[in-house]
Amino acid sequence: MNKIKTIIKKEWAEVFKNRWVLFSVIFMPLLMTAIPLVMLGVMRTDTSMEMDIDSGLDAGVPEAFRSFCPEDLSGSECFQVYMVSQFMLLFMITPLILPVNIAAYSIVGEKTTRSLEPLLATPITTMELLAGKNLAAVIPAVAATWLGFLIYAIGARLLIVSDKVVAALLNPLWWLGIIVGGPLLAILSVNFSLMVSSRVNDPRVAEQLSAVVIMPLMVLFFGQIAGFLILNTLLVIVLILLLIAVDALLVYLGVRLFQRETILTRWK
Amino acid sequence: MMIHTENLTKQFNTVLAVDRLTLDIAEGEVFGFLGPNGAGKTTTVRMLTTLIGPTSGAATINGHQVGRDDQAIRRIVGILTESPGLYDNLSAEHNLHIYASLYEVADAAGQIEKYLRLFDLWERRFDPTATYSKGMKQKLAIARALLHEPRVLFLDEPTSGLDPEAARLVRESIAGLRKEGRTIFLCTHNLDEADRLCDRIGVFKTRMLVMDTPARLRSQLFGRRVVFHLRQADDAMAAAVARLPFVQAAQTVENKVLVTLDDPEVHNPDIVRALVGLGADVQFVGELRRSLEDVYLQLMKGSKE
């Protein structure tokens, strides 16, 4: 356990000395928090958005979402919930992208600075090394996501007059998504980066390929905007179960593919 | 034996990097591992430090088998890699703290101070290593390799790229470690360094070309050459000396007779008597030492042929 702690502390000390990584860790969650709050602020002041869900003026709200909207919400309230929900998925981008930045720097960077070889020569096991690197990337990403969501929740409470809208926006669906889904997404992201790093020769390729991990989330995001799918509690639970299975597979593959010899001899 | 290998072989796809290396290195011995770039020296070090596995053959470090007892081996070996591989954003002290923790060093603070002082880095211990000179980085990397007091030390090109002053300091440090009785496996291009520091030398190019003490290598490859300074020398004197049964060759160069033979300590008096018998005035006698560089170049030339 001490070796894992050492790796985590080392990673943080190294990684956060890089201003760009530090900037991305701070800036991205702030941006993802600000977007839904700004949306809420604009909708609160723009009276032209007053619509009646029953009168058919809310053509922008998909049918599936209308049925998902609590019955006691007015048309405009449902529209607010709908619009902000579109951007809530952005919160899920933070635990996906932030670890990629950190992991790419901590693993690929370790190779480029040639510090990996003496590190691998120490009596640290592959599991300890990967656990340390995993946690070093996952913890800041999850903390930033949770903190961003907390700021969002407080901001939403202050900006939205209607208690019903607040309740709809801060429902268990999103708490479940952020509190449980966030870490699972971060684990997925880090282990995917680890696997890519273990197999490619060029650190730049590793960073670019690792960013592919965001694609499934973008499918969800645009699917929801296009009205093809609406996130509900059942879908989030299914996604979480799917993530648990994928994470377990990726952790297993990450350990299997982190071959000291391959990394030392193939990376140039 | 502290280090033992038996037909140790490493093949990367179609490239044979190390071919059936067999060697024994005793505890406390300083072994020089010489060879050109790409000869397989670093691959050998990586196999012996359990960073990569052999394709075939076996190796043990202090009785621990490579590939089976890797964790035990990592605890008792220290390695200086080709590049210092420091965390440049962190201070020297922080760099060493990380490794002290990974090696589970009991008195981490004490060991760190000991080695930072030994390598004259104590005053700069809080500075990021990015601000260090190449020599300082190399010294810090050696300090890192020594933190856990390893019984076996693998040094891969320890003075490569250093200025003469820094290289001398590193060499003195290695000499100090030798006195402490540590086993040192020294990969180097610096033949003078190997000559001065090593008990034995192996010249390697995918396979071991030759392995012995520096003095015996010179003797094996070139014989020993003794120069007899005379007041007046002529070819007849060299021809007469060449006819002696223990002499391999003799020639005259200006007023000197150069004689190649196996055992000068035994036969020099006979040669002196022969020369005096021919009327020569022998002024003084000395041995011509071949440098290790000559030995190395001769071996490399032979391996190409």
H or E segment at A144? helix A126-159
Q: pLDDT of B151-201, one tens digit each?
A: 999 999 888 777 787 788 888 888 888 888 889 999 987 777 888 889 999
Q: Of A140, A267, A195, A20, which is closest to residue B89 (Cα–Cα)?
A: A20
Range with lowest mean pLDDT among A131-140, B136-145, B250-259, B285-294: B285-294
Residue of A nearest to B49 (CA): A121
- Range 116-155 of A in CB contact (< 8 A) with B: 116-125
Q: Tell me which of A25 and A178 has the higher pLDDT.
A: A178
Average pLDDT over residues B52-65: 94
How many whole angstroms separate alpha carbon B160 and alpha carbon B37? Answer: 12
Residue of A9, A18, A122, A265 to mutate when probing chain B, most B C-beta within 10 A: A122
Query: How much is the pLDDT for A57?
Result: 46
- Residue B184: phi and psi, rounded to 5, are -125, 130
Q: Please name the member of B51, B83, B89 whose beta carbon is closest to the beta carbon of A114.
A: B83
Check whether B112 has a pLDDT greater than 90. yes
CB B3 within 8 A of CB B48: yes
CA A217 to chain centre: 9
How many whole angstroms separate alpha carbon B280 and alpha carbon A100? Answer: 84
How many whole angstroms separate alpha carbon B241 and alpha carbon B275? Answer: 7
Question: A260 pLDDT band (50/70/90 cuts)?
Answer: confident
Residue type, B101: S
CB A51 within 8 A of CB A75: yes
Check whether A53 has a pLDDT greater than 50. no
Compute CA distances B296 → A74, A251, B189, B247, whole Å: 90, 50, 10, 25
The dihedral built from the CA positions of residue A260, A265, B1 and B5, taken in this order, carries a sign that is positive
Question: A95 pLDDT band (50/70/90 cuts)?
Answer: confident
Query: How much is the pLDDT for B114?
Result: 92
| Percent of chain A predicted with pLDDT > 90 | 12
Question: A103 pLDDT band (50/70/90 cuts)?
Answer: confident
Query: How much is the pLDDT for B22?
Result: 94
How many whole angstroms separate alpha carbon B276 and alpha carbon B171? Answer: 46
CA distance B55 to chain A (A): 12
Residue of B nearest to A109 (CA): B87
- Are A17 and B89 inside 8 Å of each other by CB? yes
Highest mean pLDDT among B65-79, B165-179, B193-207, B217-231: B65-79
Angle between helices A93-103 and A19-45 (to 10 degrees): 170
Average pLDDT over residues A223-245: 81
Contacts of A245 (CB under 8 A, 6+ apart): none
Angle between helices B92-102 and B108-118 (to 10 degrees): 130
Q: Is A262 on the interface with B (CB under 8 A)?
A: no
Q: Is B98 on the interface with A (CB under 8 A)?
A: yes
Q: How many CB pairs under 8 A join A and B?
A: 78
Contacts of B99 in chain A (CB under 8 A): 118, 122
Check whether B144 has a pLDDT greater than 90. yes
Query: How much is the pLDDT for B221?
Result: 66
CB atoms under 10 Å from CB of A114, counted, come to 15
Average pLDDT over residues A251-256: 85
Average pLDDT over residues A123-149: 89
Query: How much is the pLDDT for A44?
Result: 66
Burial call B16-29: b when 16+ CB within 10 Å, e when fewer: ebbbebebebeeeb
Query: How much is the pLDDT for B300?
Result: 73
- Are B83 and A264 inside 8 Å of each other by CB? no
Q: Tell me which of B14 and A228 has the higher pLDDT.
A: B14
Check whether A47 has a pLDDT greater than 60. no
Average pLDDT over residues A134-158: 86
CA distance A263 to chain B (A): 10
Q: pLDDT of B245-258, one tens digit each?
A: 999 889 898 889 99
Residue of A5, A10, A18, A128 to mutate when probing chain B, most B C-beta within 10 A: A10
Check whether B296 has a pLDDT greater than 90. no
Residue type, A13: A
CB B35 within 8 A of CB B193: no
CB atoms under 10 Å from CB of A45, counted, come to 9
Q: Is B119 on the interface with A (CB under 8 A)?
A: no
Q: Is B129 on the interface with A (CB under 8 A)?
A: no
Residue of A nearest to B53 (CA): A261
Q: Please name the member of A3, A13, A120 whose beta carbon is closest to the beta carbon of B101.
A: A3
- Are B51 and A14 inside 8 Å of each other by CB? no
Mean pLDDT taken over chain A: 78
Residue of B nearest to A128 (CA): B102
- Are B141 and A6 inside 8 Å of each other by CB? no
Residue of B nearest to A15 (CA): B89
- Residue reference for tokens 């684990």: A187
CB B102 within 8 A of CB B95: no
Q: Is B90 on the interface with A (CB under 8 A)?
A: yes
User: What interface predicted TM-score (ipTM) does this complex get?
Assistant: 0.79
The dihedral built from the CA positions of residue A78, A80, A82 and A84, taken in this order, carries a sign that is negative
Take residue B218 and report the two structure tokens written for it.
């010179």
Check whether A39 has a pLDDT greater than 90. no
Average pLDDT over residues A236-248: 90
Q: Is B33 on the interface with A (CB under 8 A)?
A: no
Q: Could you tell me the pTM of the whole model?
A: 0.78
Q: Is A220 on the interface with B (CB under 8 A)?
A: no
Residue of B61, B97, B98, B144 to mutate when probing chain A, most A C-beta within 10 A: B98
B284 backbone φψ class: left, alpha, beta (φ>0; ψ -120 to 50): beta
Query: How much is the pLDDT for B174?
Result: 85
Average pLDDT over residues B27-56: 92
Q: Tell me which of A8 and A83 has the higher pLDDT.
A: A8
How many whole angstroms separate alpha carbon A172 and alpha carbon A184? Answer: 17
Q: Is A3 on the interface with B (CB under 8 A)?
A: yes
